[in-house]
Amino acid sequence: MTAGESQTSGESKKKPYDLEARTALFGEAVIDFAKTVPVTPVTRRLIEQLVGAGTSIGANYGEADDAVSKNDFRHKISICKREARETKFFLRMLARAVPELRAAARPLWQEAKELHLIFAKIYRG
């Protein structure tokens, strides 16, 4: 079990409440998924974009956590929100390009959607 996860006997894994841990776990899951995508002329760029956006969410959340002002915080959170939305987009495109990975992409898409909603709520205050 990695940092931020909690599990008791008989319970399934729960998503970490700590956004730093949750976004890091998500970035790791995106990397693992990207490694399963066959590299073709169509998927090469999509893989790069997916990994960039999916791992950027956590990096920018870390930056937001260390923000020097409220405006700086809101700006970094807006980047987290945007990167989560882009991650959803590139997962959709990869599912189209490699239909056999659709089922594996679905839980990642759902987590990206949840992260997008969380960061949208934080941004709105």
Per-residue model confidence (pLDDT) at position 73: 97
Per-residue model confidence (pLDDT) at position 2: 38
Q: What percentage of the chain has pLDDT greater than the value 90?
A: 86
Averaged pLDDT score across all residues of the chain: 90
CA–CA distance, 109 with 33 (Å, rounded to integer): 11
For the stretch 58-74, pLDDT in tens is 999 999 999 999 999 99
Picking from 4, 5, 3, 115, the residue whose alpha carbon sits closest to that of residue 64 is: 115
CA–CA distance, 103 with 114 (Å, rounded to integer): 18
List the CATH number of the domain containing 74: 1.20.1440.60
Is 11 within a domain?
no
- Are 105 and 50 in contact by the 8 Å Cβ rule? The answer is no
Q: Model pTM?
A: 0.85
Number of domains the chain contains: 1
For the stretch 13-56, pLDDT in tens is 667 679 999 999 999 999 999 999 999 999 999 999 999 999 99
Is 58 within a domain?
yes
